[in-house]
Amino acid sequence: MAVVRATPNQQPSLAVRTAPLEEDGDLLARLPAAAPLAWLRRGEGLVGWGEAARVDLPAEAAAQGTARFAEAARALRRLMDRAEVDDGVRVPGSGPVAFGGFTFDARSGGSALIVPRVVVGRRGGRSWITTAAPAGGPPGGDPRPDVSAPAPVGPLSWSAGVLSADAWGAAVGAAVERIRAGELEKVVMARDVVAAAERPVDVRTLLARLARDYPDCYTFSVDGMVGATPELLLRREGDEVASLVLAGTRPRGASPEEDARLAAELEESAKDREEHRYAIDSLRATLAPLCDAVEAPERPRLLRLANVQHLASPTRARLRPGVSTLDVVAAMHPTAAVGGTPTAAAVEMIRELEGMDRGRYAGPVGWIDGAGNGEFGIALRCAQVRDRQARLFSGCGIVSGSDPRAEVAESESKLRVMREALTD
C-alpha cells in the first residue's frame, strides 16, 4: 500500500469513513505485527495500523522551543480541513485520528504525527472502525488484516545505557548539591538500560502484558515507543480538559502491612509533598493563561498501581475560545513532574548531567481527532523498540532532600514495568 509521507507544509487530501462496529472483542487482537498503534485503558481506547499520512517534525534550534507542536497543529489542521469525512458514529476518537509522539527536548528530532489507514475504537460500550486513504486513490487498509499470533520475546541480554546505575547515582548526587546551592528547586533525572533480543521484538506481546498487568495505566504504542503510563497529561472533550498530576513515589509492599506503612510514609514525607507541590504549582501557572478556571484538590490522593504508589492530584479546566489541544500540550510540556522547577534551569541541568538524548521518553504521547478531542499522556514506564533492541527508561524527581541511593532504588522499581513486559 502507498504511504503518504509529508513535511508539515505538504499534506494530502484524505478520504475518511467511520462506521459502527458490532464486534466487542479484544482490541489488541486486531493488530498486525507491523508498526502497531495503540492507546488503551481497561479495554477501551484506540488501535490502528498502516499510514495514510505521516508528518515528521524536525529538531528545533531554540532550547525551550515549542515549534514542533505549532507545526504539528498547523499540519493537522490542514489535513483535517482537506479531508473528505463520512463519520457515522461522531464520538471522541471517531472520524480522522492522528496518533502523536513528541520528543522531550526541543533540540531532539523524532517527533511525529501518524494518521493510520485503519483505526478501531471502543468507548462507553460503543465500537467503531475508521478507514483513511488518499482521496481519489485505493480505499483504506484492510479492516481485517492477516493477524499472526504475537510472538514471545525470547532470550535477552541486558546492558547499561549511557550511564551505569552507580554513575547515574553520582549524577543525582551532583544535582542535589546544586539544588542545595540554590541553582533550582527540582530536577527530574532519567536513566536508560538496553535489552537485546535474538529476533525482532513483537510490540503486541508487550502491549498485551502491559494492558493485563497495569489496567489503570494508559497502554500506548506510537512509532516504536511502547509503554504503560500512569500520567495523563491532557484529556480534551469539547472545551473541557482534565489532567492527572503524579509526583512522589514509593514501591508497593510485599504484605498489606508493609504496603500500608509505605503509603503512610509517602503521604507524610516532606520531600515528596514538596515535589508534588512543585508539580501542581507548575500546572496551575501553565494553564492559567489558556483557561478560565483551573480546579485542583487541596491535598493529593494516593494512587496505587501494581508496582508503585504515587501522590496524585486530578485537575480540571475549561479552555478559552480559540485554544487548540496542541496549544495546551505545548504549554504543559515539560511538566515539573518530568522536567523540574524552574523549567529552563532544570532542562539545562538534565542536558548536562544525564548525558543522553531522551528521544520521546517523558514527551507527550497520545491521539487527537478532527474535532480537537484527544488524550495525551507522558511517555513514562516505556521503551523505544527498534527491531531486536529495546531501550528502557525511568526517571526520578530530585529535590534538596533526595538521597542518591534511594533514587537509584526508585529508578529500578520503575524499570521493572518494562523489564517484566519483555520477560517471557
Question: CA-CA distance, 18 to 96, in Å (whole number)?
Answer: 8
Residue 11: predicted pLDDT: 58
348 flagged as catalytic: no
Query: Can you give the C-alpha Rg of the chain in angstroms?
Result: 21
Residue 260: predicted pLDDT: 93
Residue 294: predicted pLDDT: 82
Catalytic residue, from 60, 71, 186, 375: name it.
Answer: 186
What secondary structure, in 3-state letters, does the chain show? CCCCEECCCCCCCEEEEEEECCCCCCHHHHCCCCCCEEEEECCEEEEEECCCEEEEECCCCCCCCCHHHHHHHHHHHHHHHHCEEEECCCCCCCCCEEEEECCCCCCCCCEEEEECCEEEEEECCEEEEEEEEECCCCCCCCCCCCCCCCCCCCCEEEEECCCCHHHHHHHHHHHHHHHHCCCCCEEEEEEEEEEEECCCCCHHHHHHHHHHHCCCCEEEEECCEEEEECCEEEEEECCEEEEEEEEEEEECCCCHHHHHHHHHHHHHCHHHHHHHHHHHHHHHHHHCCCEEEEECCCCCEEEECCCEEEEEEEEEEEECCCCCHHHHHHHHCCCCCCCEECHHHHHHHHHHHHCCCCCCCCCEEEEEECCCCEEEEECCCEEEEECCEEEEEEEEEECCCCCHHHHHHHHHHHHHHHHHHHCC
Residue 356: predicted pLDDT: 96
Catalytic residue, from 231, 275, 407, 410: name it.
Answer: 231
Residue 129: predicted pLDDT: 96
186 flagged as catalytic: yes
Residue 3: predicted pLDDT: 35
In the chain, where the domains are located: 5-148+157-422
The candidate with the shortest Cα–Cα distance to 82, out of 121, 132, 145, is: 132
Which residues of the chain are under the pLDDT cut of 70? 1-12, 137-144
**Is 3.60.120.10 the CATH number for 5-148+157-422?**
yes
